[in-house]
Chain A
Amino acid sequence: MAHKIPAELKYTKDHEWTKIVDDQVIIGITDFAQSSLGDIVFTELPGPGIKIIKGEAFGVVESIKSVSDLYSPLDGVIIEKNDELESQPELINQDPYTNWLLKIKPNNLDDLDELLSDKDYQEHCKDS
Chain B
Amino acid sequence: MNNLKTTSLFAAHVELGAKTCAFAGFNMPIQYAGIKSEVAAVRNSVGVFDVSHMGEFFVEGPAAHDFVDFVITNDFKNAPTGKAIYSPLCNERGFIIDDLIAYKITDTKVLICVNAANIEKDWLWLNNFIGDFNCKLTDHSDTYSLLAIQGPATEKILKELKLFPENNFDYYSATLFSYKNEEIIIARTGYTGEDGVEIFCSHSLVKTIWKSLLNLGVIPCGLAARDVLRLEVCYPLYGHELNESITPFDGGIGWTVKKNKISFVGKDSLINHSTKFKIVKLSLEKGIPRAGYAVLNNAGEKIGEVTSGTMSVTTGKGIALALVEKSRLPEDKAFYIEIRKNSILATQHTKPFVSGGHK
Contacts and interface: CB of A to CB of B under 8 A. Distances in A.
Interface of A: 1, 38-39, 41-42, 44, 60, 62-65, 67
A62 B289 CA distance: 11
B288 A38 contact: no
Contacts of A62: 288, 311
B288 A41 contact: yes
Nearest to B224: A65
B35 A42 contact: no
B313 interface: yes
B36 A64 contact: yes
Contacts, number: 35
B313 A64 contact: yes
Contacts of B228: 64
Contacts of B313: 64
Q: Is the interface of B mostly helix, strand, loop or mixed?
A: mixed
Contacts of A44: 287, 340
Contacts of A67: 288, 290
A6 B224 CA distance: 31
Nearest to B225: A64
Contacts of B287: 42, 44
B35 A64 contact: yes
Contacts of B311: 41-42, 62, 64
30 contacts: A1-B17, A38-B19, A38-B31, A38-B34, A38-B35, A38-B224, A39-B34, A39-B35, A41-B288, A41-B311, A42-B287, A42-B288, A42-B311, A42-B318, A44-B287, A44-B340, A60-B340, A62-B288, A62-B311, A63-B35, A64-B35, A64-B36, A64-B228, A64-B311, A64-B313, A65-B30, A65-B35, A65-B224, A65-B227, A65-B310
A62 B228 CA distance: 15
A67 B309 CA distance: 12
Contacts of A63: 35
Contacts of B30: 65
